[in-house]
Structure 1
Amino acid sequence: MKKPKAIDLFCGAGGVSQALKKYFEIVTAIEYDPIIAKTYELNHGSEHLIINDIKKVTKEDFIKKAGLKQNQLDLLVSTPPCQGFSRHSRKKALDSKDERNKLILETIRIADIFHPEFIFFENVDNIVNYKIFHTFLRKLANLNASGQKKNPSRPSYHINFKIISVNKYGVPQKRKRLILLAKKINNFPFVEGVIKIPKNKLPIVTSPLNLWPKEQLSPLLGVHLSKYNLNPISAGETDLFDPLHSCRNLSELNLERIRYTPHDGGSRNSWPEYLLLNCHKKGNVGFGDVYGRMNRYDYAPTITCGCISYTKGRFGHPTEDRAISLREAALIQTFPLDYKFTGELSDIPYKGSKDVMATQIGNAVPVKLAEIFIKEFYSRLTINKIDKKIFSIQNDEKCNFSLS
């Protein structure tokens, strides 16, 4: 049986594609940043990759690259930039004018081209509070109150979306995400899929799509990392056998600070006063996780773009006097141990800016999270194909019987 077809929008460093390629043929992936695209190429090749601003890629470009006609695409994956929806963003208004937020509507545009059977969409949990996401839901469903198509020329989708904790889906990390699954509606009216948005409340689907994988609780951080048997390294060092197992150097002051920080979850609360920043001496000021250590007996904090910086979060190693390495960050994001990253336009992996590589890792969809959901789509598609084949055989047998 041939693999079903998939398109990966906003593919980034390739976390979703790493999961996709086990079950699907990736016919198109798109990434606008050439350095990030280089990381993607190092792991997944370049034949199906478009390096461009998605808004500038025409319908004809997509059709030519994918080699598919309408209704031939099995799965559309969309993981658009989340920074404009983040709780850390200073633009918290529901109608934020952050231009990046409009990129979620590109999902609708590409769905209108191919009419995919299924859609997988991932973003930060805070997106549910934004009006543009509510618009996105209405456009994706494309149903009026009676369950008929609003726009007859566009596909309609039955949706299920939830805010989940990734540690319940195989990822050893405290990370909240919005996951949306959608299936094309083929028979109308379909009132189950109607989107309702009560005043001052979150949108709801009349009867959400019955498609969701079972939870798979992740092992705790220490158990997860112990499988890879990484060598100990000091601040500023790079492992001789793994160029990505490399961590930032620390100033003498920060080295003293981390030595005073208790192992496995310790924080700056244990420092002598002379090591405290002036802003922290006032109490209840600043983020409490800053300058903290991770805890082997718990899940890691959310891996962000600043994940290798001791000063940007609880990114201190649980026991070694350093921040976590790029490899450790990638493993916490459940990339495989041999996954390659680059911080420059080079075909040689692990070269260039550590900050650029950290940004790629922090922005990625965790591979294991994507795999659990993608496998669910694959199973549903496989069952559908088997059912159609059985139906076809039964019809042929009836025809043969009647002729005899």
Structure 2
Amino acid sequence: MDVTAVDLFCGVGGLTHGFESIGIPVAAGIDVNPDCRYPFEANNDAEFVEADIAETSSDEIASLYPDDGYKILAGCAPCQPFSNLNNGRDSEEMDDWSLLREFGRIVRDIQPELVTMENVIEIRNHQVYSRFVDTLFKLGYDISVNKVNCTDYGVPQNRKRLVVLASQIGDISLINPTHTTYEDRPTVRKAIGGDTLNPIKAGEADDEDPLHRSQSLADKNLERIRQSEPGGTWRDWDNELVLDCHRKDSGSTYDAVYGRMEWDSAAPTITTQFYGYGSGRFGHPEQDRAISLREGAMLQTFPKEYSFLKEDQDEIHYNQIGRFIGNAVPVRLAKVIGETTNQHIKHNVKDRNASRDGTGTEVRDVAQPQRAESSGVESIQ
């Protein structure tokens, strides 16, 4: 049985690229930001649809699927309203708050065989998430809710995410962690080390790859990073370099800012501001600079050749590319979700065929839904 996905809130195509790389066709990616069109279409076989999900009818989205086969509806609604980096703002006042409700509306109207949603862990503390899951439950979906540390699945950063899987064809569970041994663990070195990329200085760009560029540093910040040890803190600096905020009790515990990554550990979560040396532990492990835009993308497991920029694009905005990369579903995590759905469909189609032939047990009636927990992941119940 064929399967086709539609990627809501697709951004530059991290989820779509992961799906397509393991053989799941994506009919279209939908995003309100027109600047996502080039990177999405340049790297993927899917169509980019510029649209606001809140103003798009379910019929329009349903028409993107072929007539036959299983439908996957996938999406990562913008996570800023739910993130712990939201600085205490009332998330219900933010414009993006309604997008998960719109996702639920589309599921309710189309009722695709499979649904997947990825977001920050904090989303489960909000009523809009509970309503989304309840919508799935009332529609008869089997639901698997998984709290995932992406390092367990080959993403070289300590990125914790919630992955919700829902199926109308059987009990679904996220596949077991794929990188559990010391030898397998993903690291900064494996992602961006060695001769993978040319060395550059702060404020420079690689002539061979315009995305491999690092922001310039003020003289004082350049001295700070020169005195920083991989995995260390601002406590490594001479006293005159320490910021006033770190001298106060309230700021003394913020160790990660202005820090260097460690070669043989995972990177911190790649945020939308990963290109800024002072935004977290985003200093290069060896070179005296913040990581480049390309390095951030590779730590998000985008292929090195993933094109974010048109060849004739002269002006590059760090904040725009930073949002593209930091907001993306890591390609490797998308592959894991895609492989889960592939195995799930194969298993349930086999069981259904066996049941019809009298050679196997009957598939469980999905009209009796369960909230399933995937083995190998931390329970959040």
Worse-matched range after superposition: 54-63 or 160-169: 54-63
Counterpart residue number, 2:144: 160
Q: Contact (CA 8 Å) 1:80, 1:103: kept in 2 or not?
A: yes
Distance in 1 separating the partners of 2:194 and 2:108: 44
Worse-matched range after superposition: 159-168 or 282-291: 282-291
Worse-matched range after superposition: 14-23 or 347-356: 347-356
Distance in 2 separating the partners of 1:347 and 1:231: 20
Counterpart residue number, 2:304: 337
Distance in 2 separating the partners of 1:349 and 1:373: 33
Counterpart residue number, 2:362: none
Q: Structure 1 residue aligned with 2:332, among 368, 391, 395?
A: 368
Rate the CA distance shift 1:353–1:3 in 2: closer, same or farther, 3 A.
farther
1:110 has 2:106 as partner: yes
* TM-score with structure 2 setting the length: 0.85
Question: What letter is aligned with 2:329?
Answer: V
Counterpart residue number, 2:175: 213
Gaps of 5+ in 1: 143-154, 187-208, 396-404
Q: Contact (CA 8 Å) 2:65, 2:71: kept in 1 or not?
A: no
Deviation (angstroms), 1:3: 4.4
Deviation (angstroms), 1:49: 2.0
Q: Contact (CA 8 Å) 2:70, 2:113: kept in 1 or not?
A: yes
Taking the TM superposition and a 5 Å limit, the aligned residue runs for 1:220-235 are 220-226=187-193, 229-235=196-202
Deviation (angstroms), 1:33: 0.5
Deviation (angstroms), 1:98: 2.8
Rate the CA distance shift 1:227–1:179 in 2: closer, same or farther, 3 A.
farther
Question: What letter is aligned with 1:37?
Answer: R
SS at match of 1:50: strand
Counterpart residue number, 1:243: 210
1:255-295 CA distance string (max 9 Å, x none): 11111112x21221111111122222224417321111011
1:371-396 CA distance string (max 9 Å, x none): 1121110122123334445566779x
Q: Structure 2 residue aligned with 1:268, among 202, 219, 234?
A: 234
Deviation (angstroms), 1:139: 1.4
Distance in 1 separating the partners of 2:105 and 2:70: 14
Question: What letter is aligned with 1:14?
Answer: G
Counterpart residue number, 1:377: 341
Q: Contact (CA 8 Å) 2:187, 2:263: kept in 1 or not?
A: yes
Q: Report which structure shows greater RCO (CA 8 Å, sep ≥6).
A: 2
* TM-score with structure 1 setting the length: 0.81
Gaps of 5+ in 2: 180-184, 360-381
Taking the TM superposition and a 5 Å limit, the aligned residue runs for 1:87-102 are 87-91=84-88, 96-102=92-98
Counterpart residue number, 2:133: 137
Taking the TM superposition and a 5 Å limit, the aligned residue runs for 1:248-397 are 248-262=215-229, 264-285=230-251, 287-342=254-309, 348=312, 352-389=316-353
Question: What letter is aligned with 2:152?
Answer: K
Question: What letter is aligned with 2:157?
Answer: Q
Question: What letter is aligned with 2:176?
Answer: K
Question: What letter is aligned with 2:124?
Answer: V
RMSD, aligned α-carbons: 2.4
Taking the TM superposition and a 5 Å limit, the aligned residue runs for 1:48-63 are 48-63=47-62
Deviation (angstroms), 1:133: 1.1
Rate the CA distance shift 1:228–1:104 in 2: closer, same or farther, 3 A.
farther
Worse-matched range after superposition: 53-62 or 349-358: 349-358
SS at match of 1:378: helix
Distance in 2 separating the partners of 1:57 and 1:74: 18
1:214-273 CA distance string (max 9 Å, x none): 1022322223323662111111111122221111111111111111112x2122111111
Question: What letter is aligned with 1:233?
Answer: I
SS at match of 2:284: coil
Rate the CA distance shift 1:75–1:27 in 2: closer, same or farther, 3 A.
same
SS at match of 1:122: strand
SS at match of 1:316: coil
Worse-matched range after superposition: 368-377 or 285-294: 285-294
1:183 has 2:194 as partner: no
1:74-97 CA distance string (max 9 Å, x none): 31111100000011113466x834
Question: What letter is aligned with 1:131?
Answer: Q
Deviation (angstroms), 1:363: 0.6
Q: Structure 1 residue aligned with 2:73, among 73, 76, 79?
A: 76
1:6-31 CA distance string (max 9 Å, x none): 11111111000011113211112101
Distance in 1 separating the partners of 2:314 and 2:9: 22
Deviation (angstroms), 1:156: 2.2
**Identical-pair percentage:** 34
Rate the CA distance shift 1:267–1:250 in 2: closer, same or farther, 3 A.
same
Counterpart residue number, 2:158: 174
Question: What letter is aligned with 2:33?
Answer: D
Worse-matched range after superposition: 235-244 or 284-293: 284-293
